[in-house]
Structure 1
Amino acid sequence: MRVVGGKYRGRRIKSMPKRADTKLLRPTTERVKESVFSILNNYLEGVKFLDLFAGTGAVGIEALSRGASKVVFVENDRRFCNLIRENLCSLRVPPERYEIICGDYTEALKRLAKRGEKFDFIYADPPYEKGYYTRIVNMVKNLGLLDEDGLLILEEPKKNPFIPDDERWLVEKRHYGTTTVSFLNFSEGEE
């Protein structure tokens, strides 16, 4: 895996070796990452970015590479948390520019809300088969984790895409092979 653009462009980051117990990891493809970040590129300088279900940290590292001031990585698997830390250290990312929360995403979101955190972008790439999309959307909205103009970006399977409760939240949907990426903003659905 490599960083697609920005300060760390072309630098390789480590991934977990393929094993039976890591089969649920489905890294964001370079094509999807490159497409999403070409859409966001002009809006990344100085932003706060949340990489939810971070895996190797590739998405959050891409945001850092392109100018995000801080990225919070949330990952449940301790092995991947260690891998994210290793990748950030190998790139020499200053520790004040990132935070790694190793634990359940629901608890992490509650903790971030309790601290009053707000993000410009939240990227969520949960395991497709787990059906977390509705819960993620509801928690991000109800906990007020996005800035007013912030976007929740969901990576989902094209064959079974997520439909939000209020379609006014949906800013855009893009399709890349078997993957769909939805961009949501909750101020669109406010009365």
Structure 2
Amino acid sequence: MRIIGGKYRGRRLYSMPKRKDTRLLRPTTDRVKESVFSILDEYLEGTRFLDLFAGTGNVGIEAISRGVREVVFVESDKRFCELIKKNLKSLGISPDKYRIICDDFVKALKKLGRGSAKFDFIYADPPYEKGYYTKIVNLVKNLNLLDENGLLMLEEPKKNPFLPEGSRWIVERRHYGTTTLTFLNFSQPEAEDSNV
């Protein structure tokens, strides 16, 4: 894994050695990451970014490299939390640029909500098979974690996307191989027939 653009462009990140007891890590591919950040690039400077199900910290570190003010990493596996710290330290990233919450995503989002945290961008790459999408969207929306024009980005399996096409919250949906990337904004009034 490497940083694609910005201050740390070309720098490599540590990844978790393959072990039987390590959960299957499906890191965001360079193709998906490059697309996301080519879309967001001109809007990132000085913003707040939440990397949910952060894994190695790959996406959040890319955001730091491209000028965000602060990234909050949320990851439940302590081994990956340590790996995120290792990657941040190896790049010499100042601790005032990030926060790591090593906890279950529901608890972490509720904690952020209680603290009135607001983000310009939230990137969520949950395990596909867990079916967390409804819970993620409801928590982000109900806890008011996004700024008015903020975006929630969901990595989803192309064969089984969370929201149907035409949902009023979908700003854009892009497909990359077996991955679908859905951009959501909640500033639109909620439809009575919402599927969330």
TM over 0.5: yes
Whichever residue aligns with residue 35 of structure 1, its letter is: S
Show structure 1 runs of 4+ deviating over 3 A: none
Structure 1 distance, partners of 2:21, 2:4, is 28
Report the equivalent of 1:126: 126
The question of 1:25 aligning with 2:8 is answered: no
Query: Which residue of 1 is the match for residue 115 of structure 2?
Result: 115
Secondary structure of 2:187 counterpart: helix
Flag the structure with higher helix content: 1
Query: Which residue of structure 2 lines up, in the alignment, with residue 168 of structure 1?
Result: 168
Give 1:23 deviation, angstroms: 4.2
2:194 alignment counterpart: none
Instruction: Name the residue aligned to 2:64.
Output: 64
Gap runs ≥5 in structure 1: none
Task: Give 1:94's aligned residue.
Answer: 94
Q: What corresponds to 1:150 in structure 2? A: 150
TM-score, length-scaled by structure 1: 0.97
Q: Mean Cα displacement is larger for which, 12-21 or 107-116?
A: 12-21
Q: Hey, what's the Cα distance between the residues in 1 that align with 2:134 and 2:125?
A: 13
Give the Cα separation in 2 of the matches to 1:6 and 1:115: 30
TM-score normalised by the chain length of structure 2: 0.94
Q: Could you tell me whether the CA contact under 8 Å between 1:134 and 1:164 is conserved in 2?
A: no
Matched residue count: 191
Q: Which runs of 5+ in 2 are unaligned?
A: 192-196
Deviation at 1:188, TM superposition (A): 2.0
Deviation at 1:21, TM superposition (A): 2.3
Give the percent of matched residue pairs that are identical in Structure 1 and Structure 2: 72
RMSD, aligned α-carbons: 1.4
Counterpart residue identity of residue 68, structure 1 = V
Say which SS state the counterpart of residue 31 (structure 1) adopts: helix
Corresponding residue of 1:12: 12
